[in-house]
A and B are shown apart, each in its own frame.
Chain A
Amino acid sequence: MSAEGATPLLELVGIRAGYGTIDVLHGVDLRVMPGTVYALLGPNGAGKTTTLGVASGQIQPHAGSVLLDGHEVNGVSPDRLARAGVCLIPEGRGIFPNLTVAENLRMSTYAGVSYKQVQERAFAQFPRLQERRTQMAGTLSGGEQQMLAMSRALSTDPAILMLDELSMGLAPIIVEELYEQVATLAEAGLSILIVEQFAQAVLGVANEAAIMLHGRIQRTGPPEEIAEELTAAYLGMS
């Protein structure tokens, strides 16, 4: 855990945001300290993905501020944030289905790294991608697609990594494999914000966890404690 008083790498203060006139987030406060893994847990519709949308610049908050390493970045476009080192792997498959694997990797170079580095790191971590480099990404299996999406996180040296439902729709063994990669990144000191519906997947990697319900963060604490309360929150009983 990082020392108190250090500047959080990502901080959301009193964020209210939503779609159209309807607010989904009703005042979200969140701090990701440098070198930590923060797991944001909660049921469907709690506002987790919207929170990531705000943090990555895709959704402009109606109120509150987004701070990146202490600087306010409200209103900065997602592509500028991406070039500044914010790396969000979105929900579902974060790939371009009609581009080849190699072309998908090439898109990662907008983050300011060389094509060579992207290819080297991606293929080193996921050799299967090298075999399929000329194949259309949309024809890969679900696990391979998620590996391709993850390889952007591995190869672009981001300042902060945000993962949205990495486990969704994948076989447990592949989820395990992917989270091993996340753990390696965390060990190397990368700050990570993980959104998951199910706590089990992230418990091993997270330093800190939070429960989100109805657009508010209800509780933060060590992952184990939070996981227990999460079960209670899901089932609506004590």
Chain B
Amino acid sequence: MIFGVRRSVAVAASLGTLAAVIIAVLSWKGAPVTSETFLVTTYIGLFLGALWAMYATGLVVVYTTTGVFNFAQGAIGVFAAFLYWELHVNRGWHSILALFVVVGLFAPALGVVLDVLIMRRLRTASLVVQLMVTVAIMVLLLSVVGDIWEADTPRRVPYLFGINNGIDLGPSQLPWHRLIVFLVAIAIAVSMRFLLRRTRIGTAMRAVVDNRELAALNGARPNVVSSTSWALGSMMGALGGILIAPELGLDPATLNNVVIIAFAAAAFGALKNLPMAVIGAMLIGLLRAHTGAWLDFGPDFRFAHLSIAPLLLLFVVIALPQARLEVGRLAHHLRRHERYTKWWEGLLGCGVVILLAAAFSGGWLDFGGWDPGAWGSRELNSANEAMALALIGLSLVPLIGWAGQINFAPLAFAGFGAFVYLKLAGDTGNGYWILMVGLLCAPLGALVALPAARLRGLYLALMTMAFAQAMSLIFFPHPWVMPIIGTGRQFPHIDLFGITFDDRRGFFMLMVSVFAIFVYALVLLRRSRYGRRWMAINDSQAAAATLGVPVVWTKVVVYAVSASMAGIAGVFWATVSGNVDSVQGFDLLIGFNIVLLVAAAGVSIPMAGIFLIFIPLFKGFGLRLEDAGNVDFLVTLLDIMTTYGPGMLVLGMVFNPRGAIFEMGRGFSPILPWRSDARAEIAAENAQKREPEIGELGLERPFTPEEVIAIDRRLEILDDVVPKEGYGTSRS
């Protein structure tokens, strides 16, 4: 059962209750609790809960039946809501017809397409790749929505039967829409439970995730079964999106964030238990409604009541015993072709990066006859922003790429770094404090690492996501943390080595230098004992532990290293964005994008991180071209690359899990004169492809049957077993 009798859970639960009581007493609004207000608040809570239950049901169904936790569930809802708006509001279709077309035709088709093109190939992929790919689908869907339905027109999705028709409840009215949503959500959850437990197709859906081959041997059609799962999951996402849109408004980011609450609800049911997930969703709904009605956290914690879901997610993931993950599924490990980058190669690479950046931004390069010229402030702004994100991205290389620890909270670490810097050097801009920031961020990383030590894969991803969300709802909006928000004051210019980096170009080059230092540090780290240990715990924690690697400590160190890199990067990110609202600046979606970029770059080799520098370079370059007013198609191309590029690259991991950049590097390295090893490797691989048996012996013609028999006799393989006729005939 979910609620085991573990003492730690009981302690955590009672502490949580105590904290809740204290919070309630301290922040009581003083609103009178009457049976009427209580009833209304409860019905709002149940209604909210029902909406989230619909998303959570979809998540749980897809996870139980395909083994893939679908981060794109919310984005499917967003797409469906916009499509429904287009058909119903913009084109004037009847709501039932539009609903049928979107939920009954479009959504299942989308689910089947996702399954056939992508998910089916992910079965044997590692969990990191699985997660990254669903996140990429989420980001791509949201980008498509943003491109088709541009944000400049205000849009509203109407309630199904109008907001004013409904049951009279005394002080307020229960609109039909909300009643229907509630009933539909319950009906869906009940019927899904029935489908999964009581029908043969449902049994087959769960059987396929257990053992696909055996399901086929039983006579079930695995492909049809898994497509059915995706179609169902997609339909639930779509219906949820359409029904929740009237409440939240048609904003892709807001609608997409709903899914985090659904994650919390699903985690409450250990990701597989449907009734518990629904109860979790209702619980969050009630908590949210009642805290909103009775509690006032004051302006300092104005987003606190929104943080119930991430906090519950954190609590559930950390406190409750974990469900078994990946039972009977083998992790698919790839053969590593890696050679340590030599120290001078690292130096050379970093030098090339700095020169390239200087040449690009300074307009030193002559691009085939036309001169793009030096970057102006617009280009530099955009490039600086991308550069800071690339720096944050580098911090994930040891964490995700080497140690295999998924982390969706790089921006939370970065934001903490910015906060520390503001407190230390907010007035002077003294750059030497940046080193101190690096030191102070390490303990935060270690703190996150401690629960992470017992979590793996998906739960770790969910925990870091909840952590990031909680930080951006509770910590960063507090005026004491970021007092310059909304005041128009800027982060101070960084002052280092007697130079004040107040112009954008100088700052850009400063960041490029820091980038180069980071990359070089990674090259050295990878060669160190810790670099090897991180790789080892990624391959097999158990094996690493038996060899004497202290697994927990090793994880703590990698989190600390990553957090301090991210913290330092955060200083630059905050300085670039100046007085940007911290809630947006440390937004989860940007965090997802960074993680995607890093995943796409193929994080396992440090030099691959260098490729992150091309994003700011392309950004600035593209804008420069636009200003120059020529080569339109190139501008469009660069625009598409920067919007869809990361997502598409990650989708490429479906076919090539090591990441696109990795393969590019493999293609590139044999060209380098000193890489004879790379050339030899390619040659060996080609030889293996041709003819394994003969190639290995170095012979140029196949054996004759007599030779085969002679060899077998020499090796004492055959002896008295008389060869059948035709034995030894070599393969033609």
Say yes or no: A110 contacts B722, CB within 8 Å.
no
Binary interface profile of A, 85-122, with partner B (CB < 8 Å = 1, else 0)? 00110100011111100010011111110000000000
Residue of B nearest to A94 (CB): B214
**A21 proximal to B (CB < 8 A):** yes
Residues of chain A with a CB closer than 8 A to B206's CB? 96, 98-99, 103
Say yes or no: A229 contacts B720, CB within 8 Å.
yes
Q: Which of B200, B213, B222, B327 contacts A97 (CB 8 A)?
A: B327
A27 to B725, CA, bound (A): 11
Q: Which of A22, A23, A94, A237 contacts B217 (CB 8 A)?
A: A94
Residues of chain B with a CB closer than 8 A to A26's CB? 731
Residues of chain B with a CB closer than 8 A to A138's CB? 327-328
Say yes or no: A82 contacts B216, CB within 8 Å.
yes
A22 to B690, CA, bound (A): 10
Residues of chain A with a CB closer than 8 A to B718's CB? 213, 218
Q: Which of B220, B328, B689, B727 contacts A21 (CB 8 A)?
A: B689
A149 to B719, CA, bound (A): 38
Say yes or no: A22 contacts B327, CB within 8 Å.
no
Task: Say whether, besides A79-B221, A107-B203, A214-B717, A97 and B216 are in contact (CB < 8 Å).
Answer: no
Task: Say whether, besides A138-B327, A138-B328, A216-B727, A108 and B218 are in contact (CB < 8 Å).
Answer: yes
Say yes or no: B214 contacts A213, CB within 8 Å.
no
Residues of chain B with a CB closer than 8 A to A77's CB? 216, 221
**B219 proximal to A (CB < 8 A):** yes
Residue of A nearest to B726 (CB): A27
Say yes or no: A58 contacts B216, CB within 8 Å.
yes
Task: Say whether, besides A233-B721, A238-B720, A99 and B219 are in contact (CB < 8 Å).
Answer: no
Say yes or no: B213 contacts A58, CB within 8 Å.
yes
Binary interface profile of B, 216-259, with partner A (CB < 8 Å = 1, else 0)? 11111110000000000000000000000000000000000000
A16 to B729, CA, bound (A): 13
Q: Which of A23, A78, A236 contacts B716 (CB 8 A)?
A: A236
Say yes or no: A103 contacts B726, CB within 8 Å.
no
A95 to B722, CA, bound (A): 39
Q: For residues 198 through 238 of chain A, which have their beta carbon under 8 Å from a beta carbon of chain B?
A: 211, 213-214, 216-219, 229, 232-233, 236-238
**A48 proximal to B (CB < 8 A):** no
Say yes or no: A236 contacts B217, CB within 8 Å.
no
Distance of B85 from chain A, by nearest CB (Å):
40
**B207 proximal to A (CB < 8 A):** yes
Interface of A is mostly: mixed
Residues of chain B with a CB closer than 8 A to A110's CB? 200, 204, 218-220
Residues of chain A with a CB closer than 8 A to B724's CB? 216-219
Residues of chain A with a CB closer than 8 A to B689's CB? 21
Residues of chain B with a CB closer than 8 A to A23's CB? 731
Size of chain B's interface in residues, with CB distance under 8 A? 35
Say yes or no: B731 contacts A79, CB within 8 Å.
no
Distance of A14 from chain B, by nearest CB (Å):
9
A233 to B716, CA, bound (A): 9
Say yes or no: B204 contacts A97, CB within 8 Å.
no
Task: Say whether, besides A26-B731, A229-B721, A237 and B716 are in contact (CB < 8 Å).
Answer: yes
Residues of chain B with a CB closer than 8 A to A108's CB? 218
Size of chain A's interface in residues, with CB distance under 8 A? 45
Residues of chain A with a CB closer than 8 A to B204's CB? 107, 110
**B211 proximal to A (CB < 8 A):** yes
Distance of B169 from chain A, by nearest CB (Å):
43
Residues of chain A with a CB closer than 8 A to B722's CB? 218-219
A82 to B222, CA, bound (A): 13
A111 to B206, CA, bound (A): 18
Residues of chain A with a CB closer than 8 A to B731's CB? 16, 23, 26
A27 to B731, CA, bound (A): 9
Residues of chain B with a CB closer than 8 A to A238's CB? 719-720
Task: Say whether, besides A97-B210, A97-B327, A107 and B721 are in contact (CB < 8 Å).
Answer: no
Residues of chain A with a CB closer than 8 A to B327's CB? 97-98, 138
Residue of B nearest to A230 (CB): B721
A138 to B329, CA, bound (A): 13
Distance of B710 from chain A, by nearest CB (Å):
15
Say yes or no: A211 contacts B217, CB within 8 Å.
no
Residue of B nearest to A220 (CB): B724
Residues of chain B with a CB closer than 8 A to A103's CB? 203, 206-207
Among B218, B719, B720, the most chain A Cβ lie within 10 Å of the Cβ of B218
* Inter-chain pairs besides A83-B219, A96-B214, A97-B211, 11 sampled, C-beta below 8 Å: A27-B726, A79-B219, A79-B222, A82-B219, A97-B210, A103-B203, A110-B204, A110-B219, A138-B327, A218-B718, A218-B722
A-B contact pairs, 11 of them (CB 8 A): A78-B216, A79-B221, A82-B216, A99-B203, A99-B207, A107-B204, A107-B207, A111-B219, A213-B717, A219-B721, A229-B721
